[in-house]
Amino acid sequence: MRAFYFDNIPGDQRLLHDSGNLVSDDLLKSIGLLHWHIPTSQQNQIDTIAEERNYKNRDTITITKEGLGALYEAKLKSFYEEHMHEDEEIRYILEGSGFFDVREHPTDSWIRCQLDAGDLLVLPAGIYHRFTLDENNMIKALRLFKDEPKWTPINRGDLTDVNPYRVDYLKSIAVN
């Protein structure tokens, strides 16, 4: 995985949008982001991480224009709306590639995480983020869940800043 600040230049969200300013692993950890690169030939390591982190359920999602048909553009637009979840979001990329953008706190800058096959990303509950494919327009990912699979995005707004999961997230990254 490669992480850098988003350039904020208008245009297709699937473009790289690389500002040229890389983001360090230490900064990613400071905002609660975890990541590993596990070659897809060594997927058994995912089971070890799942057990250590108490991920009990999983499924696979494939996002392509062919697979989503007429819903493709609407789905991409909805994935790209800034939102949070009340659960961790865990993705292991099996094929293809894409971007997860996360908000750095307290600057509110976008950090773009470029993911390819073999990348495992864990976003903490309460972090503002969004997702998009890249120009290859295809991704297949293993989704892991602590409990029953649920995918409930809560779009950013006045109520999300006081959501208990957002408040807990901010407390967890506070510098003492």
Question: CB of 134 within 8 A of CB of 142?
Answer: no
- The CATH label, of 3.20.20.370, 2.60.120.10, 1.20.1600.10, 1.10.3720.10, for the domain at 2-8+23-144+154-173 is 2.60.120.10
37 assigned binding-site residue:
no
Q: Please, what is the end-to-end C-alpha distance for the chain in angstroms?
A: 29
| Residue entry with tokens 């058994």 | 44
Residue 175 has a pLDDT of 60
Cβ 165 vs Cβ 146: under 8 Å:
no
pLDDT at position 176 is 39
CB 161 within 8 A of CB 119: no
- Is the pTM higher than 0.75? yes
pLDDT of residue 16: 98
The annotation status of 129 as a binding-site residue, yes or no, is yes
Domain residue spans of the chain:
2-8+23-144+154-173
In the numeric block, the tokens 């699979």 are attached to: 149
Count of other CB atoms within 10 angstroms of residue 87:
19
Q: Which of these, 123, 106, 101, lies nearest to 174 by C-alpha position?
A: 106
Low-confidence ranges of the chain (pLDDT < 70): 175-176
SS (H, E, C) the chain: CEEEEECCCCCCCCCCCEEEEECCHHHHHHCCCEEEECCHHHCHHHHHHHHHCCCCEEEEEEEEHHHHHHHHHHHHHHHCCCEECCCCEEEEEEEEEEEEEEECCCCCCEEEEEEECCEEEEECCCCCEEEEECCCCEEEEEEEECCCCCCCCEECCCCHHHCHHHHHHHHHHCCC
Residue 79's closest CA among 122, 37, 134, 158?
Answer: 134
